Structure 1
Amino acid sequence: MDHTSAHSAATLSPTREATVAYNHDDDAIKAKEEEKVLKHVHDAHVHDIFVQEAAPPAAVEVADDHGHSHETSCEAQVMENYNLSFRIGSLFIIMGTSAIGVFAPILIYRISPYKEGGLRDWTLTAGKFFGTGVIIATAFIHMLPEGLEKFDSECIGEGWHSYHAFGGLFCLISSFLLQLVELAALSKLDSLAQKNDDAMVEKGLVPMPTHTHKHPVPYEHCHHGIHEEGHVHSAGFLESDQSMRNIGTFILELGILMHSIIIGITLGTEDEESVMTLLIALVFHQFFEGIALGSRINDLHCKCWKKPVLMGLLFIIMTPIGIAIGIGIRNTLNPGSSILAQGILDSLSAGILLYNAYVSLMSIEINHNVGFRKSPWFRKLFCFLFMYCGAALMAVLGTWA
C-alpha cells in the first residue's frame, strides 16, 4: 500500500467509527422509548383492570335464545320511543280478555237448570281440568324458572350469589306458610262447627250418639249426619272437603293475583322491540288463567253473585294495575331492585300455586275423590286429556311469556 492509500484509510477510520457510534446511540434511544411506551400501556391496562373490578357492573353481556349477545344495563335508563298509547291500549285489551276467561265458566255454571251429565256439565268439567293443567304449568314453566333466573342476574347484590337456590328457598317457604295458614283456617272451622254441634245437642235437635265406631267421628262431622242404630253416618266429611276446597280456591286466587301484578309490571317496562310479542302471549296467558280461576270459583257453590263477581273483578284488574305501575316507574326503576323483587315474588307465587295444585286440585279432586275414582273410564280419560292439554298450552306460551 502506498503512502496516499494509507493516508486515506487513516482519514476515513475516524468517520466510520463516529458513524458506528452514532447508530449505536440511536438504537439505544429507540429501545428506551419503546420500553417507556410498553410500560405506559402496561400501567394503563393494570389501571383498567383495577377500575373494572372495583366498580359495579354498568352493563352485563347476555346471550339470547338464538346465541346473539346483547347488553343488559344494570343502571336506570330513560326509555326512548316509549309508546305510551300502546301500553294504555294493552291495559284494556288484557282487562277484556281476563274478564271473558274468568266470567265465562261462572255464567255457564249459573244458567238454570243444571243437569248432571249434560253438555254443560261436560263443558265445565273440561274447563276445570284444563284449568288445573294451566295452574300447574304456570308454576313450573312461568314462575319458578323466572324466579331462579332473576337470582342469577349480575345486577343484584353479590350477597344473593352466595347461595345458589334462593328461588327454591322462597318457593319452599311459601308452601310451608300456606300449610300453616290452611291448618289454622280449618282448625278454626272445626272449632266453630263443634260449638254449633254442642248447641244443637243441648237444644235436643241432634240426639247424643249412644256409641261410635272404633275411630270416633267428631261432632263437627255429625251435624248433618244420619243416625241409625246409634251409629253416626256422617255427611260432615263432605262438608270438611268443601271447606278445604273453599280455602284452596282463595289461596289459588292469591297466587294468581301476585303473578298477574308481576307480568303487568313487566309489560309496562318492556322495551319496544319485544312488547308486541309479550302482549300477544299475555292475552292467551290471562285468558287461560281466567278459565282456571273461574272454574274453581264455581266449586265454592255460592248461592249469590256477590263473592264470584268480586273474586273475578280482582283477577281482572290486577294485571292492568301492574301495567299502570310499570308505566309510572319505567324511568325511575332501579333494575337491580326490580329484578330482585320480581325474583322473590315469582318464587313465592310458585310455592303458592304448586301447593294448591297438588294438595287441592289434584289430590282432593282426583286421587281422594271417591266420585272420580268410581266414574267411567272414558270420563277419567276425558279429564286427564284436558288437564294435559292445559299444561301443554301454557308450556308453549312459556316460549314468549
Structure 2
Amino acid sequence: MVGDVRRLCFLLLLLVLLPFLAAADDECSNDGEGRNKTVALRLRIAAIFSILVCGGIGVLVPVLGRWIPALRPEKDVFFVVKAFAAGVIIATAFVHILPDAFENLTSPCLDPHPWSDFPFAGFTAMVAAIGTLMIDTIATGYFTRVHGGATPEAEGSNQIHTHSTHAHTHVVDLKDETPAQLIRHRVISQAKFKRGSIITMGLFFSLTTPVGIAIGIGVSSVYNENSPTALIVEGLLNSVASGILVYMALVDLLAADFMNPKVQGRAKLQLMLNVALLLGAGLMSLLAKWA
C-alpha cells in the first residue's frame, strides 16, 4: 500500500512539473490547431464524473460480495464481465494508447536522431510489460513466503491439487490450480481487511483516474503540447501505460480465467467468454474512429 502511494505521488509530481519542463521549448508552436478545445474540455469533465461513478461501483461490488452471495466473483456472470473488460483493456492499449505513443515519439517536432532511428514506443511498452511481470512475481513470492504458503518447488511435485495460504487466521483454498497459476494467483484476504483499509483502497482506486484527468485539464492550458519535451514525456508515459495494460489484460484477467478449470470444463461458458472478449475489444477499437 505504501509503495502504491509513493508511485501515485511520483506520477502526480511528474504531471505537475510537466508544464514547467515544456514551457522552455519554443519549437513547433502550432498548439493543437484544428482541435475543438471547448468540446474536448466538456468531454473531459464528463469523463471525470462518469469514471468516478463507475470506479466507485467497481469497488463496491467485490466488497458487497462478502455479504451478498449473488455478487461473489466466482459466479459465471463475473467471468463474462471480466472477459469483456479484458477486451476493452487490450484494445485501449493497442488501438488507442500505443499509436499515440508512436505518434508522439516520431513527431517532426523532435530531433530525428535518435527518435526516428529506433522504435522507442514499442521498446518502452515491452520493458513496461516485462517490468510489471517481474514486480508482480516478486511481490507474490514475497507474500507467499511471509505468510507460510507452499510454493510449487517446496511441494516437489507438479501434481498440486490444493494450495492454502494462511493470512492471519483466514484460509483461502485454491483447488485444481496448475503450478503456473499458483505463482500468478493473488490471495487477498478481504475478510481480514479493516474497514479503514478498505475505504482507503477504494478511494485510491476510484479517484486516481479522475484526479489524473483533472490535473491534465489544468496543465494542458499552460504548456505547449507540441514542444519536444512534452512530446517525449507524453510518448514515454503512453508507452509505459500500454505495456502495463497489455500485461494486466493477458495475465491477470484472460490467462487466469480462461485456464480456470471451471471454465475449461464448460464449453458454453468458454463460448460466452470468447464472445465477450471479442465484443469488448471490437467496441473499444471502433471508438478509435472518433477518438
Q: Who is 1:340 aligned against?
A: 232
Q: Which has the larger radius of gyration?
A: 1
What pairs up with 1:169-188 in 2 under 5 angstroms?
169-188=123-142
Contact 1:170–1:347 (CA under 8 A) maintained in structure 2: yes
2:34 is aligned with 1:101: no
Letter of the aligned partner of 1:164 in structure 2? F
- Could you say if the C-alpha distance between residues 105 and 243 of structure 1 is closer, same or farther in structure 2, counting changes exceeding 3 Å? farther
Offset of 1:136 from its aligned partner? 0.7
Q: Detail structure 1 runs of 4+ shifted over 4 Å in the superposition.
A: 76-86, 120-123, 220-224, 240-243
Match of 2:208 among 300, 304, 314: 314
- Could you say if the C-alpha distance between residues 361 and 326 of structure 1 is closer, same or farther in structure 2, counting changes exceeding 3 Å? same
Offset of 1:242 from its aligned partner? 7.9
Contact 2:83–2:273 (CA under 8 A) maintained in structure 1: yes
Gaps of 5+ in 2: 1-25, 167-171
TM-superposition CA deviations, 1:159-210 (whole Å, max 9, x none):
234523111111121122222212321221132123x88xxxxxxxxxxxxx
| Alignment: residue pair count | 246
Query: Equivalent residue of 2:70, what SS?
Result: coil
Contact 1:302–1:308 (CA under 8 A) maintained in structure 2: no
2:6 is aligned with 1:115: no
Letter of the aligned partner of 2:216 in structure 1? G
Letter of the aligned partner of 2:219 in structure 1? I
Q: Which moved more, 1:351-360 or 1:104-113?
A: 104-113
Match of 2:147 among 176, 183, 193: 193
What pairs up with 1:154-169 in 2 under 5 angstroms?
154-169=108-123
Match of 1:362 among 254, 260, 265: 254
Contact 1:94–1:320 (CA under 8 A) maintained in structure 2: no
Offset of 1:235 from its aligned partner? 3.9
TM-score between the two structures when normalised by the length of structure 1: 0.52
2:157 is aligned with 1:215: yes
Q: Who is 1:326 aligned against?
A: 220
TM-superposition CA deviations, 1:49-81 (whole Å, max 9, x none):
xxxxxxxxx9xxxxxxxxxxxxxx812669899
Query: Equivalent residue of 1:74, what SS?
Result: coil
Q: Who is 1:28 aligned against?
A: none
Offset of 1:134 from its aligned partner? 0.5
Offset of 1:394 from its aligned partner? 0.8
- Could you say if the C-alpha distance between residues 323 and 117 of structure 1 is closer, same or farther in structure 2, counting changes exceeding 3 Å? closer
Give the Cα separation in 2 of the matches to 1:139 and 1:371. 28
Offset of 1:155 from its aligned partner? 0.4
Letter of the aligned partner of 1:346 in structure 2? N
How much is the aligned-residue C-alpha RMSD, in angstroms? 4.0
Letter of the aligned partner of 1:322 in structure 2? G
- Could you say if the C-alpha distance between residues 77 and 222 of structure 1 is closer, same or farther in structure 2, counting changes exceeding 3 Å? closer
Query: Equivalent residue of 2:117, what SS?
Result: coil
